[in-house]
């Protein structure tokens, strides 16, 4: 229990009254009564303030939060006591969370409950815990304050920003992936999976001719093949020390995880199996699978995946992956390299490419890439951000760097159906009939 400003003012008034008694006999006669009354009030208020009722605290929040996004948290306190309470509340949020509107003041009527709300924004993924709340209680006469802690542990999981990913997932659902550069293209006659029979066309290979169908119909019939389905996509994810670097306020590992989840969603929609292996620290292995909600399972596997202080050993990771993934797969290596890593990376790539189809996604800092590049271009389409704009199907090509020429902005016509850029003046227009 500590005194409040009201108690200090009360005893300050007694001291002033005592000083006044030096000059006025009447005040001198009244001072002992005033001092006794003030002391009795302070003592009674102290004793009442020590009797804290059995407050009940509950917290209202979602147990799955996206990193980097503000989320609401509600705290409800119930007062079973016989008098009202003035409370200053500070909820203990995890250290990795930013918070707004804390501490909060509230008044609890007797036998009633009150609720306060605030916002939190997680700064990193993983498990987190709200242990409880600190309460600063005022005594009934507000002469004393008492601090107490109410334990109310709540555990939450902080996932990658699935709200941001769901935006691209919605584009995929609406067949608008071409806006992101992801295009579906059927390659007739290629692949190994049988698609259909059709009449022979000039240029068809002899292996495509179905001789039994040809003999029945008395004309040449060809088999048409399509790209294989039910393939396996495996992400080889670097979680070493270089993935701790930040760019644009986000760690490279977080950017790699978002890209991995988006590609996993696209692959799963095509009927492919998806898995991953993390290296550059403690290994984490998730074999390729496609049953159930693969993306949700991946979220559960990677939400607490953090970068380490270890260097990524590409060759060791490749050697560990070979016996685990015996079936041929599309392996996407997500990493952040430097020039000194190239020799070891080349050996790992050579080992993996002997059995799998390999794609290397190197997240080198853009500053390093821009320094080495001769030309740096950015694409801006205003209709994506302002659907009502007059600049429909117009793309601004921003030439930010041109080592051997001028910089500036060039406008091109964008044919979304083909993901094709054309000169704005000579673009193909529909034929007009008289």
CATH number for the domain harbouring residue 354: 3.40.50.410
β-strand partners of 154: 130
Residues with Cβ within 8 Å of 52's Cβ and at least 6 positions away in sequence, in order, are 137, 146, 148
237/351 same-domain check: yes
84/39 same-domain check: no
Q: What is the pLDDT of residue 189?
A: 46
User: What is the domain extent for residue 387?
Assistant: 373-434
β-strand partners of 276: 235, 286
Q: What is the pLDDT of residue 94?
A: 92
3-state secondary structure of 129: strand
CA angle 366, 369, 372 (to 5 degrees): 150
140: CATH: 2.60.40.10
- Over 80: is that where the pLDDT of 187 sits? no
Structure tokens at 420: 């094709």
- Over 50: is that where the pLDDT of 432 sits? no
Structure tokens at 121: 């924004």
Look at the chain and report how many structural domains it folds into.
5
305/427 same-domain check: no
327/215 same-domain check: no
The residue among 109, 126, 159 that closes a domain is 159
Dihedral sign computed on CA atoms, order 214, 218, 219, 224 = negative
The residue among 203, 226, 249 that closes a domain is 226
188/207 same-domain check: yes
Position 168 confidence tier, pLDDT thresholds 50, 70, 90? low
245/359 same-domain check: yes
Interval 228-249 mean pLDDT: 84
- Range of weakest confidence among 171-175, 204-208, 310-314: 171-175
Structure tokens at 133: 């709340």
CA angle 236, 240, 244 (to 5 degrees): 115
176/153 same-domain check: no
242/334 same-domain check: yes
DSSP 290: -
Q: Pick from 158, 162, 175, 135: which is nearest to 54 by CA?
A: 135
Condensed to tens digits (0 to 9), the pLDDT of residues 360-413 reads 988 875 555 556 677 888 888 888 888 888 888 888 888 888 888 888 888 898
364/237 same-domain check: yes
Q: What is the pLDDT of residue 239?
A: 92
The residue among 140, 159, 178 that closes a domain is 159
CA dist., res. 309 & res. 151, Å (int): 35
Residues with Cβ within 8 Å of 336's Cβ and at least 6 positions away in sequence, in order, are 238, 242, 243, 245, 252, 362, 363, 364, 365
The residue ranking higher by pLDDT, 9 or 99, is 99
96/208 same-domain check: no
Residue 247 vs residues 161, 243, 363: alpha-carbon distances, Å: 16, 10, 10
The residue ranking higher by pLDDT, 114 or 30, is 114
Condensed to tens digits (0 to 9), the pLDDT of residues 125-160 reads 899 999 999 988 887 777 778 888 889 999 999 988
123/200 same-domain check: no
Interval 254-267 mean pLDDT: 87
- Over 70: is that where the pLDDT of 197 sits? yes
Residues with Cβ within 8 Å of 108's Cβ and at least 6 positions away in sequence, in order, are 77, 79, 84, 85, 86, 87, 114
408/280 same-domain check: no
Compute the mean pLDDT over every residue in the chain, rounded to the nearest whole number. Answer: 81
β-strand partners of 53: none
Dmax (CA) for the chain in angstroms is 135
What ranges in 340-416 are assigned the alpha helix state H? 342-353, 366-372, 382-385
CA dist., res. 213 & res. 160, Å (int): 54
């Amino acid at each position: 229990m500590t005194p409040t400003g009201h108690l200090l003012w009360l005893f300050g008034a007694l001291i002033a009254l005592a000083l006044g008694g030096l000059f006025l006999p009447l005040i001198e006669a009244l001072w002992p009564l005033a001092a006794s009354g003030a002391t009795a009030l302070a003592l009674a208020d102290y004793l009442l303030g020590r009797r804290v009722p059995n407050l009940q605290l509950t917290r209202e929040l979602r147990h799955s939060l996206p990193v980097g996004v503000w989320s609401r948290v509600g705290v409800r306190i119930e007062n079973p006591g016989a008098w009202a309470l003035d409370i200053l509340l500070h909820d203990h949020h995890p250290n990795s969370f930013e918070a707004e509107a804390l501490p909060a003041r509230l008044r609890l009527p007797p036998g009633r409950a009150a609720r306060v709300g605030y916002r939190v924004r997680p700064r990193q993924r993983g498990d987190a815990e709200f242990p409880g709340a600190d309460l600063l209680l005022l005594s009934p006469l507000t002469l004393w304050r008492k601090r107490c802690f109410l334990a109310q542990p709540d555990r939450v999981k902080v996932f990658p920003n699935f709200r941001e990913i769901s935006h691209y997932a919605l584009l995929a659902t609406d067949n608008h992936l071409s806006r992101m550069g992801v295009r579906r293209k059927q390659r007739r006659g290629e692949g190994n999976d049988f698609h259909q029979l059709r009449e022979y066309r000039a240029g068809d290979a002899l292996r495509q001719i179905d001789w039994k169908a040809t003999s029945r119909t008395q004309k040449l019939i060809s088999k048409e093949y399509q790209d294989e389905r039910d393939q396996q996509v495996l992400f080889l994810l670097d979680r070493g020390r270089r993935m701790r670097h930040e760019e644009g306020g986000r760690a490279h590992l977080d950017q790699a995880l978002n890209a991995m989840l988006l590609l996993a969603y696209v692959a799963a929609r095509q009927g492919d199996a998806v898995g991953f292996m993390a290296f550059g620290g403690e290994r984490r292995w998730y074999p390729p699978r496609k049953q159930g909600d693969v993306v949700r399972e991946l979220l559960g596997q990677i939400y607490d995946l953090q970068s380490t202080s270890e260097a990524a050993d590409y060759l060791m990771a490749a050697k560990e992956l070979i016996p685990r993934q015996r079936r041929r797969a599309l392996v996407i290596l997500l990493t952040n390299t430097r020039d000194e890593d190239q020799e070891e990376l080349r050996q790992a790539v050579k080992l993996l490419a002997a059995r799998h189809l390999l794609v290397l996604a190197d997240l080198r800092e853009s500053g390093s890439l821009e320094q080495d590049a001769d030309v740096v271009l950015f694409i801006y389409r205003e209709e994506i951000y302002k659907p009502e704009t007059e600049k429909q199907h117009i793309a601004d090509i921003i030439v930010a760097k041109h080592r051997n020429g001028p910089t500036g902005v060039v406008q091109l016509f964008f044919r979304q159906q083909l993901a094709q850029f054309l000169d704005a003046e000579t673009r193909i227009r529909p034929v007009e009939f008289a």
